[in-house]
Amino acid sequence: MKRLKFLLLAAALALALNRTALGADVGTHLMTFDFQAINEIEVTGSPILTVASAVAGEQPQEATDSSSTCAITTNGTNKRITAIIDTAMPAHVTLKVGVTAPSGSGISQGYVTLTTSASNVVTGISHVADSNPTITYKLSATVQAGMLSTDTRTVTFTLSD
């Protein structure tokens, strides 16, 4: 009989629990955020480099310009910046570029000779937004280049995998 009383009590409890559970209904909705890949680079500056002096007995002095900057944003990992020129440099003339790594990410490859093939200038860039990396150009020529008239080159920087 005691067992029967216990079961009756359990039954009452079950009823009470059921009532509590039935007192709660649920509605839902979804929140979705699609984060697209972002790989943005923007370069500013139109440097002018002139090789015009030399120390007697030595090759002409290299011209340097650090007035350009690039701004980079990526939410990806292990990205790189490459640089390429549109037309090859004249014989005995070399144009190099060096880009500082964005703050906290990436490795600068130092001064890289620019050619019509893309060259890595910064590698290993991940999750960064920085508008301050400096671009430095160095123009050099040997006496074999002779006198050259003013010429222009377009340097294209690309942020990619």
Partner 1 sequence: MRFLIKIFIIFFLAPLFFVPQTAHADRYIKIKVTGNWSETIDKKDLLSGAGSDLKSTYTSVSGQVSIDIRGTKGINDAWRIDIRKVDNNWNDNLHPYVMRTSDGKGGRVSGGTSYQEVTDINTPFFSGSGKVKGINVQLRLTGPSIQIPPSSYSTVLYYTVVDIQ
Sites of contact with partner 1 (CB under 8 A): 3-4, 7, 10-11, 14-15, 18-19, 21-38, 40-42, 71-77, 127-132
| Measured distance CA(121)–CA(126) in Å, rounded | 15
Going by C-alpha positions, the residue among 89, 47, 82, 51 that lies closest to residue 66 is 47
Nearer Cβ to partner 1 (74/140)? 74
Nearer Cβ to partner 1 (22/55)? 22
Shortest Cβ distance from residue 62 to partner 1 (Å)?
A: 29
| Measured distance CA(29)–CA(51) in Å, rounded | 67
Shortest Cβ distance from residue 140 to partner 1 (Å)?
A: 30
Extract the tokens encoding 22. 């039935």
Nearer Cβ to partner 1 (23/57)? 23
Going by C-alpha positions, the residue among 65, 44, 81 that lies closest to residue 140 is 65
Shortest Cβ distance from residue 158 to partner 1 (Å)?
A: 12
Nearer Cβ to partner 1 (37/52)? 37
Shortest Cβ distance from residue 71 to partner 1 (Å)?
A: 3
| Measured distance CA(120)–CA(109) in Å, rounded | 7
| Measured distance CA(53)–CA(139) in Å, rounded | 12
